[in-house]
Amino acid sequence: MNNQSHHKSVLTKESIENLITDQNGIYVDATFGGGGHSYAILKKLNKKATLIALDQDKESIKKNWIEDKRFHLFHNNFIHIRDILNRNHIGKVSGILADLGISSLQIDNPERGFSNQLNCILDMRMNQESSYSAQNVINECSREELFHIFYEYGEFKNAKKIVDKIFKKRFKKNITTTSDLIHLFFIKGSFKKRKKFFARLFQSIRIEVNNEINILKNFLLESSRILFPGGRIAMISYHSIEDRIIKYFFKKGIIINKKKLKTLPFRMIHKKVIKPNIQEIINNPRSRSAKLRIAEKNL
Ligand SMILES: C[S@@+](CC[C@H](N)C(=O)[O-])C[C@H]1O[C@@H](n2cnc3c(N)ncnc32)[C@H](O)[C@@H]1O
């Protein structure tokens, strides 16, 4: 086994310790990224166990592959998890981990256009084969669509003002780079306030580009179908929209905008959400917004 990525995995000990209930079982790492969580899972498993890992980003797969007979990595979206398992003659699994969002490998690469700290082409596609990028969102979405993106995914009360600025600019010239976008906004106040504004702006566009909310909802439903009773699911999220969806589903069996399930699929194994401790935040400031929730499939 090797692990070469510069992405620092988040809440590794807390998630893996609670995830593994059968050391000979079949596990899924739905968001392989830099491979840190997969590596830690493999370390805990016996020789007979299997780990299925997925990532929709080809680069992560190419750069961080783990040489291990128990390990099987697929370039795919985790929304297709049931299909992938079926194709590999697997019906049910003992545990699923998903560490949502993007990795440092993606944020720090200027060609990927995820970072508001770097001047680069607006892109933000996790899957480089997708034909829908941040440029399409900013230059082609209607007023209503953009309003929805900034209001729902960025939780901006003043979403209309943001849309107006984008429309005024794109009427004259397409907005193609991260600095084209950033220069549209003058944010009064502290550096912290500015930082927060752009983080939320970029986050909301990224969620739209990668259809992250719909995919998360479907993934939770699929997970409840592929886990053995007693099997566990560990979900790490980085913003309140995702955390709310996960919490609601684990607690009440309800996916927002979808029908309530007849029986409650999961039971939360911790009442409170798990967050990184201060030492982890000092070592890895990007972990500061992480929230881990773990649930067990009901019998
Ligand atoms: C936070 S990183 C995961 C880091 C990883 N846990 C580690 O230890 O290095 C999230 C990864 O999930 C991938 N990803 C996000 N949404 C996905 C989806 N719907 N399907 C497949 N991969 C996804 C991203 O491309 C990214 O590589």
Cα–Cα dist 63/60, whole Å: 5
Q: Count the neighbouring beta carbons within 10 Å of the beta carbon of residue 243.
A: 20
Q: Is the model's pLDDT at 209 over the cut of 90?
A: yes
48-86 tens-digit pLDDT:
999 999 999 999 999 999 999 999 999 999 999 999 999
Pocket test for ligand 1, best of 10, 55, 211 (most atoms within 8 A of CB): 55
Longest dimension (CA), the chain: 61
Residue 99 in contact with residue 110, Cβ under 8 Å? no
For residue 254, the model assigns a pLDDT of 84
Ligand 1 in reach of 34 Cβ (< 6 A): yes
Q: Which residues contact 39 (CB under 8 A, 6 or more apart)?
A: 1, 3, 66
| Least confident span in 5-9, 10-14, 153-157, 171-175 | 5-9
Domains and their CATH numbers in the chain: 12-105+212-297 (3.40.50.150), 131-209 (1.10.150.170)
Q: In what order do the strands lie in the sheet with 227-237?
A: 71-75, 50-55, 26-29, 93-99, 227-237, 291-297, 266-268
Tell me the average pLDDT across 144-166.
97
Tell me the average pLDDT across 171-190.
93
Atom of ligand 1 nearest to the CA of 60: 27
133-145 tens-digit pLDDT:
999 999 999 999 9
Question: For a pLDDT cut of 90, what percent of the chain falls above it?
Answer: 90
The owner of tokens 């709310």 is 244
Ligand 1 in reach of 57 Cβ (< 6 A): yes
Ligand 1 center to residue 22 CA distance, Å? 24
Ligand 1 in reach of 287 Cβ (< 6 A): no
Handedness of CA 28, 30, 35, 41 (dihedral sign): negative
Q: Which two tokens stand for residue 29?
A: 């790492």
